[in-house]
Homo-oligomer: A and B are copies of this chain.
Amino acid sequence: MKIASIIIIGNEILSGRTQDINSNYLAKKLSSIGVFLKEIRVIPDEKSKIIEVVRTETKKADFVFTSGGIGPTHDDITADSIAEAFNLKIDLRQDAINELAKNYPNGLKDLNSARLRMARVPEGSELIKNRVSGAPGFRVNNVYVMAGVPIIFKSMVESILGNIKHSDPFVSTSIKIFKAESYISEKLRKISLKYEDIQIGSYPFKENEKIGVEILVRHTDKEYVQKVITEIETNLNEP
Contacts and interface: CB of A to CB of B under 8 A. Distances in A.
B112 A192 contact: no
A183 B112 CA distance: 8
B11 A31 contact: no
A183 B114 contact: yes
Interface of A: 11-17, 19-21, 23-31, 37-44, 49, 71-75, 112-115, 117-118, 149, 170, 172, 181-183, 185-186, 188-189, 192-193, 199-204, 216, 218
A130 to B, nearest CB: 14
A188 B41 contact: no
A68 B64 CA distance: 24
A172 B74 contact: no
A39 B42 contact: yes
A164 to B, nearest CB: 15
A161 to B, nearest CB: 14
B73 A15 contact: no
A41 B44 contact: no
A192 B19 contact: no
B15 A27 contact: yes
A182 B70 CA distance: 12
Sorted from nearest, which 6 A-B pairs have the closest CB atoms? A16-B28, A16-B27, A40-B42, A74-B189, A114-B185, A115-B182
Contacts of A16: 24-31, 37
A44 B38 contact: yes
Given A14-B37, A16-B25, A73-B202, 18 more contacts: A12-B201, A12-B216, A14-B38, A15-B37, A15-B199, A16-B31, A17-B172, A17-B201, A20-B24, A39-B44, A39-B49, A40-B41, A73-B188, A74-B185, A74-B200, A74-B202, A75-B201, A117-B185
B112 A182 contact: yes
A15 B44 CA distance: 24
Contacts of A200: 74-75
A115 B199 CA distance: 22
28 contacts: A12-B201, A13-B40, A14-B27, A14-B38, A14-B39, A15-B170, A15-B218, A16-B25, A16-B26, A16-B31, A16-B37, A17-B172, A17-B201, A19-B24, A38-B44, A39-B41, A39-B44, A40-B40, A40-B42, A41-B42, A71-B204, A73-B188, A74-B192, A75-B192, A112-B183, A114-B186, A115-B182, A118-B182
